[in-house]
Amino acid sequence: MTTRLKLAVWKFASCDGCQLQILDCEDELLVLAEVVDIAYFKEATRHEDPGPYDLSLVEGSITTAHDAERIRQVRAQSRILVTIGACATSGGIQALKNFDDVAVYKSIVYATPAYVSSLATSTPIADHVTVDYAIPGCPIDKTMLLRFLSALLAGRKPDIPTHTACVACKHSGVACLMVRGIPCMGPVTRAGCDALCPKFARGCFGCFGPSETANVDALIAQWREMGVDEATIMRAFHTFQAWAPPFRQVGDVVKSQTSPSRGASQGQGRQGHD
């Protein structure tokens, strides 16, 4: 009855954490290996079968000219291409370089900057090729990945939530951290982690990226009311999902809305992201 999908897992600029989530599906791994043909997955095995592939899971962002070409080849060999994780979906934490001059960093970090051949930007896979589905998260949630694969195998539309992380807090019975004075990115962050941090009274870090209607301006206005300083606001939004709109624009929001009455040094109450 089942369709045995030929699977490839690709790595671009990334930390491998999302690929490790696949290997972390310990209880399901044997079944997974039965229902899909793992044809290319270097994190798991040096064995490789040539394409084409039914399903390509792509981890990582594009930071080199070489990778910009390689993703085209991956796309050409893949029936369905799915980005896994923040790097592939929105450029990752390495997209912080998009806001700055990479040549300066190169000159500071490397003894011979000329040896480094990289693009000035870190960009999501969808900037280069057509992406069929995007699984968010830094890293991805293995349960979401398994649900995605199960849906695909059954020929059902995968259900990848785009609403806010707040829903998971409410389902779990977590009393809203924001309302209790702890800054939290949950109201602008999409669900998928099952409120991992808020369950431990830590404000959401936004690992899963912007929710479908992320009203970043409104959240920032409230954070300011709570006494969060501008530098902390910038840092909170410019992490794993820095290049994902509208988090990308937070630098402009912070600059344009800074006023003398809202000083930058009332850092009290910022317990979530210190």
Partner 1 sequence: MSNRRHILNADAFDQLFDALRDAGYTTVGPTLHDGAIVYDALTCAADLPVGWIDVQEAGRYAVQDTGSGRYFDYTVGPHTWKRFLRPPREPLFEAIRSGAGVAFHAAAAPEETYALMGVRACDLAALGVLDAVLTGQTYVDTRYATRRSRAFVVAVQCARAGNTCFCVSMNTGPRASAGFDLALTELKDAGRHVFVVEVGSPRGATIAAALGLRDSTEEDWAAARAVSAATAANMGRQLDTTGLVSLLQQEAENPLWNDIAQRCLACANCTMVCPTCFCTTVEIDSDLEQTRASHTQVSDSCFHASFTQMHGGPPVRDTTSARYRQWLTHKLSTWHDQFGHSGCVGCGRCVTWCPVGIDLTAEAARLRASHEERA
- Of 81, 119, 207, 219, the one binding partner 1 (CB under 8 A) is 219
Instruction: Pick the binder of partner 1 from 43, 104, 181, 252 (CB under 8 A).
Output: 181
CB of 219 to partner 1, least distance (A): 6
Q: Specify burial of residue 111 (Cβ count, 10 A radius: 0-12, 13-18, 19+).
A: exposed
Nearer to partner 1 (CB atom), residue 73 or residue 172:
172
- 250 interacts with partner 1 by CB under 8 A: no
Q: Which value, in Å, is the radius of gyration of the alpha carbons in the chain? A: 20
Is residue 213 part of the contact set for partner 1 (CB under 8 A)? yes
Is 150 a residue that touches partner 1 (CB under 8 A)?
Answer: yes
Cβ closer to partner 1: 42 or 199? 199
Whether cis (ω within 30° of 0) applies to the bond prior to 139 is yes
Of 73, 215, 249, 266, which one interacts with partner 1 (CB under 8 A)?
A: 215
Cβ 267 vs Cβ 227: under 8 Å: yes
The yes or no reply on residue 27 touching partner 1 (CB under 8 A) is no
Residue from the set 15, 20, 32, 196 that interacts with partner 1 by CB under 8 A: 32
Q: Using CB under 8 A, list all residues that contact partner 1.
A: 1-2, 28, 31-32, 34-35, 146-147, 149-151, 153-154, 156, 159, 162-164, 166-167, 170-171, 173-176, 178-181, 184, 186-188, 201, 211-213, 215, 217-219, 221-222
